[in-house]
Amino acid sequence: MRHEKIKLVLVLITLLLAGISPNLYPIAQAGIAKLSFLAVSFLIPSVALILLLIFITRALKYTSLSKQILVGLIAGLLATVGLEVIREIGFRSGAMPGDMPKLLGVLLLDRFAHGPNFWSNVSGWAYHFWNGAAFGIIFSLVFAHAQRWVAVVYGIIIGIVFMIGPATTTLGIGVFGLEFKDGYQFLTTVTLAHIVFGIVLGWSFDKLSKHESYPNILRRLKNAMTVSKRNEPLN
C-alpha cells in the first residue's frame, strides 16, 4: 500500500524536473545566469533524470505511471510540431521579431557573437522541443483525464506567461509584443501557436492514452492520503 506514496513522490520529482527546462530561458533573459551555464548545470541533468525516472518506474513495475510520463512527453513533442508550424509561418511572414529556436541555439552554445550555425540550430530546436515535451509531461501528470479544452487553456496560459516575461521583453518588443510593428502580430502569432499546441496536446494525449485512465495529481494525492489514514493505528 505504500506504493501509492512512492508513486506520488515519483510524480512530484518528475514534475519538479519537468519544470526546470521551460524556466531556464526566462532566467537567462532576466540576466541571472547564462543559458549555456544553465544548460550544463540544470537542463542536461534534468533531461537525464526524467529519462532515468521513466526506467525506474518501469523497473518498479509502475507501468501505468511510466506510460503516463512517456505519453505526456510524446504528446508534448507532437504539440510542439503544431506550435512550430504556426511560429515558422509567423516568422516568415514577418509577424515575429526573430527565429526563436535559432536564438536559443546561439545562447545555449554561447556563440551569439558569431551567429547561428548548424549545431547551434540543432541545439536550439532540441531545446525548444524538449520544452514542449516538458510541458506535455506536466500536463499529463497534473491534468490527466481532463477534458480536451483544458489542454487549450493550458497552452494559452503558457503563451501568456511567455509574453509577459523577460523572454519577450528582452527582445525589445514590450510586454505581449505590443511595441512590435502594429502591436498585434506577435501577440496573435504566439497566442495562435499556443492554442494549436493545446489542441494537439489534448488530442494526442487522448489518442496515445488509448482510453487508459491515468490518475491526475489530485487523485494520486487522495490515494496516498487514504492509504495513510487506513494505516493509522486505531488509538
Partner 1 sequence: MKNRNFKLSAILFMAILLTGLTGFSEGVQAQNPKPVTIESSRDFDGTVDAIKKAVSNGDMMVLSELNQGQILSMTGLQLNAHSFFIGNPTVGKKAFSSDPSAGLVIPVRVNVYEKNGQTFVTYFKPSDLFSAYKSQQVKKIGKKMDGVLKMMMQKISK
- Report the nearest approach of partner 1 to the CB of residue 107 (Å): 11
43/103 with CB nearer partner 1: 103
Q: How far is the CB of 185 from partner 1 (least distance, A)?
A: 13
Which is nearer to partner 1, 66 or 169 (by Cβ)? 169
Q: What phi, psi does 140 have (nearest 5°)?
A: -60, -45
Q: Which is nearer to partner 1, 45 or 94 (CB)?
A: 94
Q: Please, which residue, 63 or 93, has the CB nearer to partner 1?
A: 93
Tell me, letter by letter, the H, E, C secondary structure of the chain.
Answer: CCHHHHHHHHHHHHHHHHCHHHHHHHHHHCCCCCHHHHHHHHHHHHHHHHHHHHHHHHHCCCHHHHHHHHHHHHHHHHHHHHHHHHHHHHHHCCCCCCCHHHHHHHHHCCCHHHCCCHHHHHHHHHHHHHHHHHHHHHHHHHHCCCCHHHHHHHHHHHHHHHHHCHHHHHHHHCHHHCCCCCCCHHHHHHHHHHHHHHHHHHHHHHHHHCCCCCCCHHHHHHHHHHHHHHHCCCC
Whole-number minimum distance, CB 197 to partner 1, in Å?
22
Which residue lies nearer to partner 1 by CB, 86 or 208? Answer: 86
- Output the smallest distance, CB 97 to partner 1, in A: 6
CB of 80 to partner 1, least distance (A): 19
CB of 186 to partner 1, least distance (A): 13
Residues that bind partner 1 (CB under 8 A): 91-92, 94, 97-99, 102-103, 106, 112-116
- Is 59 or 113 the residue whose CB approaches partner 1 more closely? 113
Round to whole Å and give the CA distance between 161 and 149. Answer: 18
